[in-house]
Amino acid sequence: MKPGKLKSPAGAVKSRKRLGCGVGSGCGKTSGKGHKGQKSRSGAKIRPWFEGGQMPLQRRLPKVGFNNPQKVVYQVVNLDDIASRGLSGEVTPEHLKQVGLIRSIRRPVKILGRGEVSDAMQVQAHAVSRSARGKIEAAGGSVSVMDGGSGAG
């Protein structure tokens, strides 16, 4: 057996349709394209979003929304999260990153007031909520706001 003698099994290869080869071929005259119209012309290609000239859907719908380029997206940490990790003393974004409460030191951190604080701690963050500030200071700790975020909020 030689590679040149190999044949495909019967019925595996279909002969191509010979378009425009006379009436007897079954695909003569219009060559299976019907009569006239955009799809019968040579080079016809209608893109999926084309709607025949009517106003397209993406232009009929109104523009909505706005992306604020100055928006600050904080990494949020609650007081009960800090207490559950056993953090006390000085609490900075570096410490929060080490215990896995935040993902990145480069993004600003905001401390929120869910939970209670028993230990006095010195918290450094880019923003602190009023309730969190109150609870930390009531426990004998202090809060300092770092650059890059707003203060109480």
Mean pLDDT in residue range 73-94: 92
Structure confidence at residue 150 as a pLDDT band (50, 70, 90): low
Summarize pLDDT for 16-71 with one digit per residue, the tens. Answer: 989 999 988 889 999 989 999 888 999 989 999 999 999 999 999 999 999 999 99
Q: Looking at the domain assignment, is residue 123 inside a domain?
A: yes
Quick check: is 2 in a domain? no
Residue 98 domain-assigned (yes or no): yes
Q: Is residue 128 part of a domain?
A: yes
Position 13 scores a pLDDT of 93
Residue 149's pLDDT is 61
Q: Bigger pLDDT: 153 or 18?
A: 18
Number of domains in the chain: 1
Residue closest to 129 by CA, chosen among 115, 85, 120: 115
The predicted model gives 143-147 an average pLDDT of 91
Q: What is the pLDDT of residue 87?
A: 86
Per-chain mean pLDDT for the chain:
91
How is 63-90 classified by DSSP, letter by letter?
P-----TT---PEEEEHHHHHHTT--EE
Q: Which amino acid is at 66?
A: F
Is 4 within the bounds of a domain?
no
Q: What percent of the chain has pLDDT over 70?
A: 96
Q: Give the pTM.
A: 0.57
Residue labelled with tokens 């215990």 = 99
Per-residue buried b or exposed e for 115-125, using 16+ beta carbons within 10 Å of the residue's own CB:
eebeeebebbb
Q: Which domain holds residue 126?
A: 75-145
Residue 63 lies inside a defined structural domain of this protein: no
pLDDT tens profile 3-15 = 999 999 999 999 8
- Write out the H or E segment, with its range, that includes residue 58: helix 57-60
Spacing of C-alpha 30 from chain mean position: 48
Q: Residue 20 domain-assigned?
A: no
Task: Mark 77-99 as b/e (b = at least 16 C-beta within 10 Å).
Answer: bbbebbbebebeeebbbebbeee
pLDDT beyond 90 at 135: yes
CATH code: domain of residue 130: 3.100.10.10
Q: Work out the end-to-end distance of the chain between its first and last CA atoms, rounded to an integer number of angstroms.
A: 84
Taking the CA atoms of the chain, what radius of gyration do you get in angstroms? 35
Say which residues have a Cβ less than 8 Å from residue 39's Cβ, sequence separation at least 6: 33, 46
Residue 90 lies in a domain: yes
User: Residue 151 above 80 pLDDT?
Assistant: no
